[in-house]
A and B are shown apart, each in its own frame.
Chain A
């Protein structure tokens, strides 16, 4: 069954890079605004969410929407943040079901992580 991936980033170049991490058989949906997330969750029913964190406040809002929703309580999230923010998040926050990576991660590694994440889905 085709898996749907929801990509979230304010920048088009991020979305273009992120979509290459997932295999061809996936349905990729990209949005460039965090305010569009609730609608996207309702209409796209994503199996995996992949996002670029620039503003932690926006990220926490999305995280909370996901983890307090029955439908998305366990949905895997792949999050990429700048190194300083990633370090701060790792130190201060325990995120459930979120694979948090630094922005220096290579495309090769991201392809592996995307595959592992898709394989982990039941």
Chain B
């Protein structure tokens, strides 16, 4: 069952809960500690009141939702008594939200949420259970939104137990490596996800310089090794710059995959940049 979170005054959300309860798992919040609730409850859809004085919805979305890993692309519905307000329409556009007008006509309201829900894949299914990162296809959805700008670098990181033999790494190695990459990626606002083969895939928006990527890679490799405290691992990183030579995303990915192979051939704990 999909999980919805309603951020609104209690008396208002009580009604929405009464209308939707039979169809969805619903949690409510009045805004305080939203980030912690998101991380704990992992809702699939957020509905937030836009005209309640004690709920600063813009700040909550930009600070607590869009900057929380796993919720960067979370669908949002604005609940508003003035759904045609031009300023609200503009804000909805910025945040990629839909607007649901109040008061709710119950049948229409159920239909609006159902059509949103049809497009949703539950958050739990989008996330890798070990690292908590988005799986590859959902990470790529996010990367592709930035792809047209032709400014940024795709990376693939392979942390392996053996240099040439392919063998799955343990959950511990996978989790700790992801922690390092998340931490180190923060500086660049990196988008990071995980592939089925446990390689980490990510994108450094706005970064197109080899030297910056190589220096970042050195740092990541060193910190992964420190974090794994003496466990022998081979870290290889491939980078591909998103520019005129990569007209489609698939070209960028293939280039990055080639860079990763080149990095492996060069030796252990190194990176390659195309």
Contact = CB atoms under 8 A, between A and B. Distances in A.
B125 interface: no
B172 interface: no
Contact of B11 (A60, A67, A88): A88
Interface string A21-54: 0000000000000000000000000000000000
User: Which of the listed residues A63, A68, A94 has the most CB atoms from chain B within 10 Å of its own CB?
Assistant: A94
Given A57-B21, A57-B22, A61-B22, A93 B107 contact: no
Nearest to B109: A93
Contacts of A56: 14-15, 18
B111 to A, nearest CB: 10
Nearest to B101: A94
Contacts of B15: 56, 88-89, 92-93
Interface in B103-140: 103-107, 110
A2 to B, nearest CB: 30
Interface-central residue, A56, A92, A95, A96, by most chain B CB under 10 Å: A92
B89 interface: no
B92 interface: no
Interface residues of A, number: 19
Contacts of A89: 15
A122 interface: no
A96 B250 CA distance: 51
B102 interface: yes
Interface in A52-89: 55-57, 59-61, 63-64, 67-68, 88-89
A93 B104 contact: yes
Contact of B18 (A60, A67, A68, A94): A60
Contacts of B12: 88, 91-92
Contacts of B104: 92-94
Given A56-B15, A92-B15, A64 B103 contact: no
B105 A94 contact: yes
Contacts of B107: 63-64, 67-68
Which 6 residue pairs across A and B have the least CB separation, nearest first? Answer: A56-B18, A92-B15, A94-B103, A57-B18, A94-B105, A60-B19
Interface of A: 55-57, 59-61, 63-64, 67-68, 88-96
Interface of B: 11-12, 14-16, 18-19, 21-22, 102-107, 110
11 contacts: A55-B18, A56-B14, A56-B15, A56-B18, A57-B21, A61-B22, A63-B106, A63-B107, A92-B16, A93-B104, A94-B103
